[in-house]
């Protein structure tokens, strides 16, 4: 099992202050699941892919899908809303 927190930590240190990320997983027929990275802020997908490449993550830990969203989903408490994140990931990743 892959630690999503480790993935976020490795990428976060490279991000500008105005960029926020959240990782989740979706089902994958071949591998069981794949990692999806949601991000918001002033980067485009190509820039985020380059940062992921520079993060030093092993290939198995690199997000398979990178999705730009207007805002990272949050609960009323301000914590990340993983349920909504997973739903967004499924919609965009085709799972």
The CATH number assigned to the domain holding 10 equals 3.30.300.30
Neighbour count for residue 74 (Cβ, 10 Å): 14
* Host domain of residue 14: 4-93
User: Which tokens sit at 28?
Assistant: 């994958």
Please say if the pLDDT value at position 65 is more than 70: yes
What pTM, to 2 d.p., does this model score? Answer: 0.90
Closest CA to 62 of 36, 80, 30, 33: 36
Report residue 92's pLDDT band, with 50, 70 and 90 as the boundaries.
confident
Q: How many domains does the chain have?
A: 1
Report residue 1's pLDDT band, with 50, 70 and 90 as the boundaries.
low
pLDDT digits (tens, 9 = 90+) for 29-47: 887 889 999 999 999 999 9
| Residue whose tokens read 């990340």 | 80
């Amino acid at each position: 099992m892959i630690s999503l927190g480790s993935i976020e930590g490795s990428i976060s240190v490279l991000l500008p202050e105005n960029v926020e990320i959240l990782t989740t997983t979706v089902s994958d027929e071949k591998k069981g699941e794949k990692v999806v990275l949601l991000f918001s802020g002033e980067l485009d997908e190509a820039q985020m892919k380059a940062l992921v490449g520079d993060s030093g993550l092993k290939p198995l830990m690199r997000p398979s899908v990178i999705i730009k969203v207007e805002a990272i989903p949050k609960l009323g408490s301000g914590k990340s809303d993983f349920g909504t994140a997973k739903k967004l990931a499924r919609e965009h990743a085709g799972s």
